[in-house]
Amino acid sequence: MVSVDNRDTPAEGQVNQWSTGAAYLDGKFMPIAEARVPVTDWAYRRSDVVYDVVSVWDGVFFRLDDHIARFRRSIERYRFTPKETDEEIREILHKLMALSGLRSAYVAMDCLRGQAGHGIRHPAKARNYLACYAAPFSTLVPAEKVERGMHMMISSTPRIPHECVDATAKNFHWGDMNISMFEAEEKGADFPVLLDLNGNVTEGPGFNVFIVVDGVVATPDYNMLEGISRRSVLELCEELGIKVEARKISAQEFRDADEIFVTSTAGGVIGVSRIDGRIMNNDRPGPISEKIRETYWNKRKSGWHGEPARYDQR
């Protein structure tokens, strides 16, 4: 059983150390600035980590159950065996919010592969542990880019195939994403979107993508993370009476779409105004994209799928 008692309560003079974020690392709570991962751990040397991130807005976790459940699926997919149960993970995340005192936060939960004995190279022999933290909330793009719409481009680097790395298990294999982000910067775009080896759209670095064609919303159904924000939009479309499809989307259909928007824990729903230099909707997010974005935030502010953070755990 993980301890979440008051032994880790910051002294009055240490409060400022926690205000920039709180961490839980390998069984201990600490200010986020003190959290360190050994350079010899396989988490660092092999990117052998699975993770998840949940947002807190105005003191309320969004879809915490769903994030913890997906985190557990990722843990099991890559054969990690942390000692903490799902309920203990929940208690850890609540305590991180209490220690930091943050009202809006980006709350991460990672499971890391540590080390095995000297000369042992099989991952099954390595210990593994949790690293979690709460830090001030940050969005995918600043407010001014949300208003004018993201500028996107289709990367020349393909997404790692699902057959090699299971994208539905949230992991640290970001080599393809990072190279694509350099390409986007060089071409004056905010973010790239990556194709699979058959030329179909998958996802972008940290977000799912949607298109709107003739009033119908569509999103890729393969070789991408099954995002919690993506799931929220599927629910919202049903509620709003907007037809929605999960299916293959070719690069050309993506470029020719009436509207494009993305979904991410880091910002919810964000419209796109340019794709590969093509200007859409008078260089602003489209009307359906905006309707979904506004509905998403209005419902979140009303407590939709919310779980209030327990700040009394200090």
The pLDDT-based confidence of 57 (bands split at 50, 70, 90) is very high
Give the pLDDT confidence of 33-53 residue by residue, as tens digits: 999 999 999 999 999 999 999
Residues 6+ apart with CB under 8 A from 98: 309, 310, 311, 312, 313, 314
Domain 143-301, CATH class in plain words: alpha beta
Q: Which CATH architecture has domain 6-137?
A: 2-Layer Sandwich (3.30)
Percent of the chain whose predicted confidence (pLDDT) is above 90 = 91
Give the pLDDT confidence of 276-296 residue by residue, as tens digits: 999 999 999 999 999 999 999
Query: How confident is the model at residue 243, as a pLDDT?
Result: 98
DSSP codes joined into one string, 161-204? PTTTS-TTS-BS--HHHHHHHHHHHHTT-SEEEEE-TTSBEEEB
When pLDDT is averaged across residues 184-189 and rounded to a whole number, the result is 98
**Strand runs (DSSP E) across the chain, as ranges?**
22-25, 28-31, 49-57, 60-62, 105-113, 128-136, 150-154, 191-195, 201-203, 208-213, 216-219, 244-246, 259-264, 268-275, 278-279, 306-308
What dihedral angle (degrees, nearest 10) is formed by the CA atoms of 279, 281, 285, 288? -140
Query: How confident is the model at residue 257, as a pLDDT?
Result: 98
Query: How confident is the model at residue 10, as a pLDDT?
Result: 56
The pTM assigned to this predicted structure is 0.93
CATH 3.20.10.10 positions along the chain are 143-301
Phi, psi of 216 (to 5 degrees): -105, 130
Phi, psi of 250 (to 5 degrees): -75, 165
Query: How confident is the model at residue 9, as a pLDDT?
Result: 56
Query: How confident is the model at residue 5, as a pLDDT?
Result: 45
Query: How confident is the model at residue 11, as a pLDDT?
Result: 54
Token pair of 116 as six digits: 């095995």
The pLDDT-based confidence of 313 (bands split at 50, 70, 90) is confident
Query: How confident is the model at residue 119, as a pLDDT?
Result: 84
Which DSSP symbol is given to 159? P
The pLDDT-based confidence of 121 (bands split at 50, 70, 90) is confident
Minimal CA–CA distance to 247: which of 229, 222, 211?
A: 222
CATH 3.30.470.10 positions along the chain are 6-137
